[in-house]
Amino acid sequence: MSYGSINWKAAECISIGAKDVCYVNTGEGGYGPHGIAGNDVVFQIGTGKFGVGKDGALNDGTPTRLLDDDLLKDLVVKNDNIKMIQLKISQGGKPSLGGVLPGVKVTPEIAAVRKVEPWKTIMSPSQHAECLASTPADTVLKLLELIERVRKLTGLPVGIKMCIGRLDEVDLLIEAMKETGKGPDAIQVDGADGGTGAGENLFMNYVGYGTSFETTFYLDKKLKEAGLRDRVTISSSGKLFTPAHAALAFAVGTDIIETARGVMLSLGCIQSLKCHTNECPTGITTNSKWRIHGINLPEKSTRVHHYMEGFHDDMMHLTKVLGHTDPRDINNTDIRIISYKNVFVRYFDDDPFGVYMPQSSSLEECIHDELYKSLKS
């Protein structure tokens, strides 16, 4: 959760709670109090380039936000606990949409972190201006160029976060990586069922390619086929907030579990869907001093810490029950799913009808065959 979407108290609770358990991702709101406890931090750069951007314009004069090389270099130099940069392409809670932070939430403190004007509504573009192109293939090539630029500026690994809309996007990315020898060091796969209390229901419920499990499986498979798997760390997110969810993600190919929902619930979120109104009843996504006073730092950070530690301990316990010593050793032979016509299948990739991983035409052929059988009978 980005600074501005949540207030300083909530961000500090997450930072303190994560101490000695996991790293913290800043979200796209700039480098706020997320690293207050000295955690390893992944600094996320969204399309608004908050904290490291400047106002600019496209060729047609449309206002946009551009990366400021000097601001990015300065940030990394001053905060040595930033260990990776992540470019956010899209997320499951609002796939293909930019973000909006209402002016009432843009306090002078948050504006200073984000490098924007205070009390003015912030609209993030739907795409990185540096990646705009006339074709999807050219867009991917420009993305690889942006990754290289950020890597050279910071000297750090660079990852991307995306919610896949169609599997062709994965194919294009991997093909470009193979041809150019460039690409991200890490890819975070966000499922289409990722959430945000400020997102549009239409997009949260109907846009994006399935769960993160499906996309993780496909991405892992394609990277292996291209001989690139050892170069890329895969992380999965999108409603992965229990060890059971995590085990399935590990089984289909992920290396790391990312969770926002679980941490927010442990912090006290009741999912009232008022994140954008500045009237969050639990004081998490508001800058109202009266509402913020409900966040007790020692208590809430302890709750966050217990959730994260408990997640880790239960994950290790489940791993041992499955006969492994490392969660990343969990594989598709450890699971079974209900597939076509409620028949159990042994493995995630044992999918003869293409229900889970259809190729471009296999699903149409399957539907055609079933229609033919029904008409014949």
DSSP letters, 243-288, are HHHHHHHHHTT-SEE--SHHHHHHHT----S-TTTT--TTSSS---
- Which class would CATH give 8-335? alpha beta
The answer to whether 173 touches 140, Cβ cutoff 8 Å, is yes
Q: What pLDDT score was predicted for residue 49?
A: 94
Grouping H, G, I as helix, E, B as strand and the rest as coil, residue 108 is helix
How many whole angstroms separate alpha carbon 10 and alpha carbon 299? 12
Q: CA torsion, points 218, 223, 229, 232, in degrees to nearest 10?
A: -80
What pLDDT, on the 0 to 100 scale, is given for residue 355?
Answer: 53
Determine the pLDDT at residue 203: 66
Query: Which H helix or E strand runs over 199?
Result: none
Residue spans per domain, the chain: 8-335, 336-377
The answer to whether the beta carbons of residues 85 and 154 sit under 8 Å apart is yes
Q: For residue 196, which phi and psi values (nearest 5 degrees)?
A: -160, 140
The predicted structure's pLDDT at residue 24: 94
pLDDT at residue 372, rounded to an integer: 45
Bridge-based pairing of strands 233-237 and 41-45 is unpaired
Quote the pLDDT of residue 345: 56
Digit-coded pLDDT (tens) for 75-133: 999 999 999 999 999 875 555 556 788 888 899 999 999 999 999 988 888 889 999 99
Strand duo 256-257 + 233-237: pairing: parallel
Q: Which residues pair with 101 in a beta bridge?
A: 122
Point out the residues of the chain with pLDDT beneath 50. 358, 360-363, 367-368, 371-372, 375
Q: What is the DSSP string of 291-357?
A: HHTT--HHHHHHHHHHHHHHHHHHHHHHHHHTT-SSGGG--GGG--EE-GGG-EESSTT--TT-SSS
User: Contact 49/29 with Cβ under 8 angstroms?
Assistant: no
